[in-house]
Structure 1
Amino acid sequence: MMPEAVTTEKLKQQAIAHGFFGRTGGHSNSPFDSLNISFAVGDDPKAVNQNLDDIATQIGVSPANLCLVKQTHSTMVISVTAASPRNDRIEADGMVTATKGLALGIQTADCGPVLFADPKNQIIGGCHAGWKGAVGGIVGNTIEAMVQLGAERQHIIAILGPSIRVESYEVGEKFKADVRAQHAHTAPYFKLPSNAKAPHFDLPHCIMDQLESANIADISDLELCTYQNSDKFFSHRKATHLAEKTGRQLSVISLL
């Protein structure tokens, strides 16, 4: 069985290799079944490596050219010209490249994976946007890093992949107060869905607003919820609610 991914016509039409991979089509056993790409959750490293190799192969690059970073919920973005060793990654939450044959991989399990491409100038990017990174500016930093490489905003396409939706993202009053105290602009993202007893955070709304304000060519949201579709995607929050372990999925983009 091959890894399963969601793709978009917008990037396909521009001949940009990409895929928002889920949890199916891999080698990991329960509870990481089956396409877990994280070494940090207790899965068999051999299975994780095989999953990563299969994803790279399906995208069309050598497994040695799959670029991964050590994600820390920061706003750091790096420009890459080669992949780091899988066991010795650079700390960052975003990557950009103009190097053909590399694939940029962003791991998530509820946070927002955003893939970027400037097909005209052949520059791509990807970032991991949890609430902290999104509020802090990881989206804008990734776009700016692409521009530094020669991308033009009027040609950049951005896609938000599978991520937790507001209905499933309860955060509570203290979280709301703490975040709003430091980031007043986040007020519109705290909502009270029907039947909710505590505030929820609308992460996709926050990310899409960041993309909107960046004045790029085209933005879209796959509108897929990791929590509500935990049979297809890993959801850390769903697993926590069930007192279970879970894996991480990979969103990938490449210039072939």
Structure 2
Amino acid sequence: MITRSPLLSAIPGLRHAFFSREGGVSDGIYAGLNGGLGSNDEPACVAENRRRMAEAMGVTSGHFLSLHQIHSPDVVVATGPWPTPERPRADALVSRTQGVAIGVTAADCGPILFVDPNARVIGAAHAGWRGALTGVVESTVEAMEKLGAERGGIVAAIGPLIRQSSYEVGDEFVERFMEVSAENGRFFIPAAREGHSMFDLAGFIRMRLENAGVLMIDDIGIDTYSDERFFSYRRSVHRKEPDYGRHVHAIALESE
């Protein structure tokens, strides 16, 4: 199953997909469409899953690009294929190359897909709490601008991620955000457990997008933790599973 953004779907010459775990060949704890190159799943299964995702995006497997993600604000420009073992260490990609699908992996963190339809520049960012707090959203927008995009013309879609009702954090987590800005307090509500709060990652990402000048924003609204159609790192921890699957969420410019 593929979830799509209504805003992005209305743009001609563009393909995008927020993939669920449905439609893959992996089994066990990875059952379904696990695209995680860093997981301990059978490499042949991951390769076939990624081939299927590439096909859905209208590109070859070699043109279905993702990163070695490190929870950073770092961005790379994708102009063509790179060997999987040599994929860059970063958390966002931007491109203006047709026929290349750029994607980020996630299993609770926030995937964001970007496009400036007029400049035909695309971006994909992996925004976990650390990346979102340290500027991956802003870095992606700046990198798109360097390729000719205008931030006021960028459309962004926030994909499936862990939602506030599922995202309990401790006081030390809240303090990290409050040290950056007292205004970040609005993204936390008290949890049932004393000394804990519930964090609104999607709301925080939206705020960072808006502050960066991106005002056309879609939010898919799916909670990866509670929705079993999606992989969830936190759910796997709570179930004491040894590992977890990863989604790849991707965007591509079609050839004109």
Which band: TM-score by shorter chain? over 0.9
Residue in structure 2 matched with residue 75 of structure 1 by the alignment: 73
Structure 1 residues 153 and 179: CA distance shift in structure 2, 3 A: closer
Instruction: Identify the residue that residue 241 of structure 1 maps to in structure 2.
Output: 238
Q: Is the 8 Å Cα contact of residues 113 and 161 (structure 1) preserved in structure 2? A: yes
Which residue in the other structure is 2:201 paired with? 203
Q: 1:28-43 alignment to 2 at 5 Å?
A: 28-43=26-41
Q: TM-score under structure 2 normalisation? A: 0.94
Deviation at 1:83, TM superposition (A): 2.3
Q: CA deviation at 1:9?
A: 2.4
Task: Write the letter of the residue equivalent to 2:204.
Answer: C
**1:251 pairs with 2:249:** yes
- Aligned residue in 2 for 1:121: 119
Tell me the residue number matched to 1:7. 4
Q: Does residue 1:144 correspond to 2:142, yes or no?
A: yes
Matches within 5 A, 1:48-87: 48-87=46-85
8 Å CA contact 1:135–1:183 kept in 2: the answer is: no
> How many residue pairs end up in the alignment?
251
Q: In 2, Cα distance between the equivalents of 1:190 and 1:83?
A: 41
Cα shift at 1:155: 1.7
Contact kept in structure 1, 2:7 and 2:218, CA below 8 Å: no
Structure 2 CA distance, aligned partners of 1:26 and 1:242? 22
What secondary structure is seen at the aligned counterpart in 1 of 2:8?
A: helix
Alpha-carbon distance change, 204 to 98 in structure 1, aligned in 2, over 3 angstroms: same
Q: In 1, are the aligned partners of 2:209 and 2:215 still within 8 Å (CA)? A: no
How many angstroms does 1:179 deviate by? 4.0
Report how far residue 215 of structure 1 moved: 1.8
Alpha-carbon distance in structure 2 between the residues aligned to 1:212 and 1:158? 10
Indicate if the aligned counterparts of 2:103 and 2:249 stay in contact, CA closer than 8 A.
yes
Unaligned runs of 5+ in 1: none
Matches of 1:32 and 1:212, distance apart in 2? 35
| Counterpart for residue 110 of structure 2 | 112
The two structures, once aligned, show a CA RMSD in angstroms of 1.4
Query: Aligned pair in 2 of structure 1 residues 76, 151: CA closer, same or farther (>3 Å)?
Result: same
1:32-77 per-residue CA deviation (whole Å, 9 max, x = no partner) reads 0110011322100000011111101111111111111110000001
Q: Matches of 2:248 and 2:213 in 1, distance apart?
A: 27
CA contact (8 A) 1:68 1:84 kept: no
Give the counterpart letter for 1:154 in structure 2.
G
- Of 236-245 and 109-118, deviating more is 236-245
Whole-angstrom CA distance in 2 between matches of 1:109 and 1:103: 19
Equivalent AA in structure 2 for residue 187 of structure 1:
G
Q: Secondary structure at the match of 1:106?
A: strand
Aligned partner of residue 199 in structure 1, secondary structure: strand
Q: Secondary structure at the match of 1:18?
A: strand
